[in-house]
Amino acid sequence: MCFALIPFLGFSQGNTNTIKAQLALGVNSPSSGGFVDDFEANGINLPTVNLGLQYMFKPLLGAKLDFGFNRFSNANDTPEFKINYSRINVQLVYDARKIFALENRLGVFAHLGPGYSIVKPLGDFSQNNTSFLNAMGGIEFHYGISDNLSLYLDTAYILGFGKDFSPVSDGFGSFNGNLLTITFGVSISLSGCYFCED
């Protein structure tokens, strides 16, 4: 539905909009509270991959639909496990460039919105799949390379609303907590040019 509305909204808003595709790679850090006793993940894990489509329907306000994939695995001296953590989120995006009075090629975007997380353990605990609602918030720092391309750094926190594992064995090798991600990526204009509007 979001994809179907984008062309219509683009025509109705004229020069006040932009559509961008985003791709970012980075690292993740799961909260220790998301694991049952005796299980613990590494503090920093690879990879994190984020794919997004962002639409600015007003000069300072927009929306983003994005998908994230994360992999994390056990720390030393804990049972061996690996987890695939995927999420999809719909977020509001706010362009905070004017608040910080940044130069034309620099941008700061805050994003916040609800989503859904899917956790798939691998190996011995593959039966302990779980899924839950989440809320994600973060901030992106952009640097415009050209009118159509910018590089950005995104720091985001995903708050998970997973239920407690019952019985506890359902949580072996699984995860129901919060996740911090730090990614570096590219943002490509698909319609118009946000940095060259000023």
pLDDT tens digits for range 55-73: 999 989 999 999 999 999 9
Express each pLDDT in 83-139 by its tens digit: 999 999 999 999 998 787 777 889 999 999 999 999 999 999 999 999 999 999 999
Q: What's the pLDDT score for residue 105?
A: 86
Beta pairing class for 61-73 and 45-56: antiparallel
Q: Where are the beta strands (DSSP E) in the chain?
A: 18-30, 45-56, 61-73, 82-95, 106-121, 130-144, 149-160, 179-191
Q: What's the pLDDT score for residue 104?
A: 80
Q: In degrees, to the nearest 5, what angle opens at C-alpha 88 toward C-alphas 156 and 26?
A: 40
According to DSSP, residue 124 is labeled G
pLDDT at 42 over 70: yes
Cβ-contact 64, 53 below 8 angstroms: yes
- Nearest by Cα to 40 from 50, 32, 29, 48: 32
pLDDT at 76 over 80: yes
Q: What's the pLDDT score for residue 192?
A: 59
Q: What's the pLDDT score for residue 113?
A: 98
Counting Cβ atoms within 10 Å, is residue 104 exposed (0-12), middle (13-18) or buried (19+)? exposed
- Nearest by Cα to 29 from 187, 185, 175, 186: 175
Residues 6+ apart with CB under 8 A from 6: 19, 53, 55
> Over the Cα atoms of the chain, what is R_g?
19
Tokens of 89: 């989120």
Tell me the whole-structure pTM to 2 decimals. Answer: 0.86
CA–CA dist 23, 153 (Å, integer):
11
Express each pLDDT in 149-195 by its tens digit: 999 999 999 999 999 999 999 999 999 999 999 999 999 998 754 44
